[in-house]
Amino acid sequence: MALQFLCFYQHAGVFFLLLLSLIFAECGKILVIPQDGSHWLSMRPVVGKLQQNGHDVVVVVPSSSLFMKSKGHQNYTVKVYPIPYEEEHLHDVLKSFVNDHFTEQSTLKIIITMYQNIVEIFRFFFTTCKSLLHNEEMMQYLRKSKFDVVFTDPILMCGPILADYLSVPSVYFLRGFPCGMDSKATQCPSPPSYVPRLFLNNSDSMTFAQRVENMLVNILELVYCQPLFTQFEELAYEILQKKVTATDLLSRGSVWLMRYDFAFEFPRPTMPNMVFIGGINCAQKNKLSQV
């Protein structure tokens, strides 16, 4: 039984590529709106594989980034738009976030510190997204290109906005979303009685006190998360000329490719359009010798 279980995950990458073939049954034009950092490092092999399979792939990236620099050896097209940030600023923000994330603190201190970091990161996300959507030359190019689908990490929110603007379906590639927005957008149940909330180190087996703590954080999410997305909702209204919420935008994702793995996640509900693809970005290793 264990051997069958291991074999299943060994072929998870093959399954995912077959899934992509079903999503993009015929070769078409794919607009990729990625997110910098480890998000892009996970997405890049998939983007390259889509190009190898005959799709016309266009990746839109900001002028300053940590890992999304245009390189001559990739086969897909890269379009660059300017942003008012330098790479040094990106490094500082990421370093602060990582250091605080791995520092042992009280629950209250963790919530305050991480929230401050998330606010700073979302401020950068918003500036990046605004720079793209206000770039008339780039937007004109995207309109004329007649893309068939948007492949995006929705944490940037630009992908969902562009998919709506271009009237094309979207496929999300992500590992969770702040404030449980992924569950809200897909109308997926997320009971606080056994689904741990952000910032907490609880498992699915919680004591009564931990469940109360989990429930309080669940309520607080409604308060401290709304300001993060309000600016994107205002930007979406400016571009789409209609009022939409962040949940509305995210809910239009056709497929959610989640970088989760059933072997490492706590049990929780999922929806039919949520596909777990944990490990898809891992390199293929040689089989162990029999000796």
Residue 169: is its pLDDT beyond 60?
yes
Q: Contact 110/199 with Cβ under 8 angstroms?
A: yes
Fold of 2-276: Rossmann fold (3.40.50)
Task: Give the residue with greater pLDDT, 216 vs 96.
Answer: 216
Q: pLDDT for 181-198, tens place per residue? A: 888 999 999 888 888 887
pLDDT tier at 10 (50, 70, 90 boundaries)? very low
pLDDT tier at 9 (50, 70, 90 boundaries)? very low
- pLDDT of 278 reads 82
- pLDDT of 2 reads 40
- pLDDT of 247 reads 93
Residue 1: is its pLDDT beyond 50?
no
Residue with tokens 């689908």: 149
**For residue 126, what are its two tokens?**
């918003």
- pLDDT averaged over every residue in the chain: 82
Ordered by start, the domain boundaries in the chain are 2-276
CB crowding 186-216: b at 16 or more within 10 Å, else e: bebeeebebbbbbbbebeeebeeeeeebbee
- pLDDT of 5 reads 38
pLDDT tier at 241 (50, 70, 90 boundaries)? very high
| Main-chain phi, psi angles of 79, to 5 degrees | -110, 130
- pLDDT of 201 reads 78
pTM of the full structure? 0.81
Rounded CA-CA distance 56/35 in Å is 20
Q: pLDDT for 108-159, tens place per residue? A: 777 777 777 778 888 888 999 999 999 999 999 999 999 999 999 998 899 9
Rounded CA-CA distance 121/193 in Å is 29
Beta strand pairing call for 77-81 and 56-62: parallel
Q: pLDDT for 20-79, tens place per residue? A: 554 545 678 999 999 887 788 888 889 988 998 889 999 999 988 777 776 655 788 999
Q: What angle do CA 231, 79, 257 make, to 5 degrees?
A: 65
